[in-house]
């Protein structure tokens, strides 16, 4: 690959599935060891929880499970494609939980410390979990949504593309909003809390209080946060935990992140995570080249 500007994107919650990583445990001893270390650190059998349909989609479990598998993909990518990383300008961003994977890629914390931080985030966010009370909807639309339609009861959680946003709030308020605003197709998401909204304030505060003890290292790359596109490379280390705390309750400004990368003449976009998700949000442009890395085969076969 000739020198290019490359953006590596990292998938967030919702990309998990029961068998992720299982084939790699028998292939690599270090991966088998990583799963054992993870189980010991988290206090539960990771593989067992991952195969339990009643547990895998719960925030406190799904976030560390996604992180473990994605961290393996990251380490495989960095080992197999050293030259890509060495010879190209790399920009990083992760969607929600994926921001922690971007930070892991950038060596701000080692695996064990980042897993502890992710587990802390999952537990803090689960404090607001109540599937009977709260909900989230993705809205698929062909027209730009006017931000004025949102109230103090229905929140804009993610701006994923010009054709998709995600809203959240109490279920009764969401249903009223749907009736009053027939602006597109509403798709309910399998979540139990109103992520990335002011309702997550308590979770954000719980997370920050405990996250202050982590000793981050400076990001090696331009790494944009979901919150106000803050570049971790440009902030003080003591501000990393605060930035992650704000990210929990603020809108994911994904479209702005992608537009920023494109303004930097990035036209090669990679995605690392259990499933191809974020590449689907990219604008239709014949100059944009995409590649998902969701498995060992994806990474090993890439030329």
Instruction: Please give the CATH number for the structural domain made up of 5-129+197-301.
Output: 3.40.366.10
Torsion, Cα 43 45 51 56, to 10 degrees, reads 10
Q: Transcribe 68-135 into DSSP letters.
A: HHHHHHHHHHHHHTHHHHHHSEEEEEESTTHHHHHHHHTTSS-HHHHHHHHHHHHHHHHTT--TTTEE
Which pLDDT belongs to residue 69? 98
The answer to whether the beta carbons of residues 254 and 226 sit under 8 Å apart is: yes
For residues 98, 99, 103 and 104, what is the CA-based torsion angle, rounded to 10 degrees? Answer: -20
Percent of the chain with pLDDT over 90: 88
Check residue 242 and give its pLDDT.
Answer: 98
Q: Is 268 helix (H, G, I), strand (E, B) or coil?
A: strand
Common-topology check for domains 5-129+197-301 and 134-188: no
* pLDDT surpassing 70 at residue 2: no
3-class state of residue 16 by DSSP = coil
Is the four-CA dihedral 227, 229, 232, 237 of positive or negative sign? negative
Structure tokens at 207: 């997370």
Cβ proximity of 156 and 150 under 8 Å? yes
Backbone torsions φ then ψ of 135, nearest 5 degrees: -155, 170
**Alpha carbons 303 and 301: distance in angstroms, whole number:** 6
pLDDT in tens, 239-292: 999 999 999 999 999 999 999 999 999 999 999 999 999 999 999 888 999 999
Closest CA to 87 of 198, 208, 6: 6
pLDDT at residue 191 tops 90: no
Give pLDDT tens digits for 37-88: 999 999 999 999 999 999 998 999 999 999 999 999 999 999 999 999 999 9
Q: What angle do CA 109, 114, 116 make, to 5 degrees?
A: 135
- CA atoms of 203 and 77, how far apart (whole Å): 33
153 C-beta neighbours (distance < 10 Å), count: 13
Of the candidates 221, 190, 268, which has an alpha carbon nearest to the alpha carbon of residue 5? 268
Give the fold, CATH level 3, of 134-188: Alpha-Beta Plaits (3.30.70)
Domain boundaries, the chain: 5-129+197-301, 134-188
pLDDT at 209 over 70: yes
Is it the case that residue 1 has pLDDT exceeding 60?
Answer: no
Q: What are phi and psi of 172, to 5 degrees?
A: -65, -35
Q: Tokens 């799963």 correspond to what residue?
A: 35
Torsion angle (degrees, nearest 10) of CA 181, 187, 193, 196? -70
> Residue 166 pLDDT more than 90?
yes
């Amino acid at each position: 690959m000739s020198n290019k500007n490359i953006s590596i994107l990292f998938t967030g919650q919702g990309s998990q599935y029961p068998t992720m990583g299982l084939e790699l445990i028998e292939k690599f001893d270090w991966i088998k060891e990583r799963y054992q270390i993870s189980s010991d650190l988290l206090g539960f059998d990771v593989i067992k929880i991952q195969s339990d349909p009643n547990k895998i989609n719960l925030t406190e479990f799904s976030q560390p499970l996604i992180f473990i598998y994605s961290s393996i993909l990251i380490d495989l990518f960095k080992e197999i494609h050293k030259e890509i990383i060495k010879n190209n300008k790399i920009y990083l961003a992760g969607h929600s939980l994926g921001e922690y994977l971007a930070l892991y890629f950038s060596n701000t914390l080692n695996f064990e410390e980042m897993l502890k931080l992710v587990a802390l985030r999952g537990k803090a966010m689960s404090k607001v979990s109540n599937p009977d009370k709260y909900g989230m909807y993705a809205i698929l639309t062909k027209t730009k949504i006017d931000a004025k339609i949102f109230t103090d009861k229905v929140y804009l959680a993610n701006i994923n593309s010009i054709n998709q946003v995600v809203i959240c709030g109490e279920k009764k308020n969401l249903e009223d909003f749907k009736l009053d605003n027939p602006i597109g197709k509403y798709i309910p998401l399998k979540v139990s809390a109103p992520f990335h909204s002011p309702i997550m304030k308590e979770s954000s505060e719980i997370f920050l209080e405990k996250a202050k003890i982590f000793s981050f290292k400076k990001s090696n790359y331009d790494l944009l946060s979901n919150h106000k596109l803050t570049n971790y490379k440009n902030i003080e280390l003591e501000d990393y935990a605060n930035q992650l705390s704000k990210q929990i309750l603020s809108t994911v400004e994904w479209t702005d992140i992608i537009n920023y990368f494109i303004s930097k003449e990035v036209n090669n976009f990679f995605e690392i995570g259990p499933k191809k998700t974020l590449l689907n949000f990219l604008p239709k442009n014949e100059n944009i080249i995409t590649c998902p890395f969701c498995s060992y085969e994806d990474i090993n076969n890439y030329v």
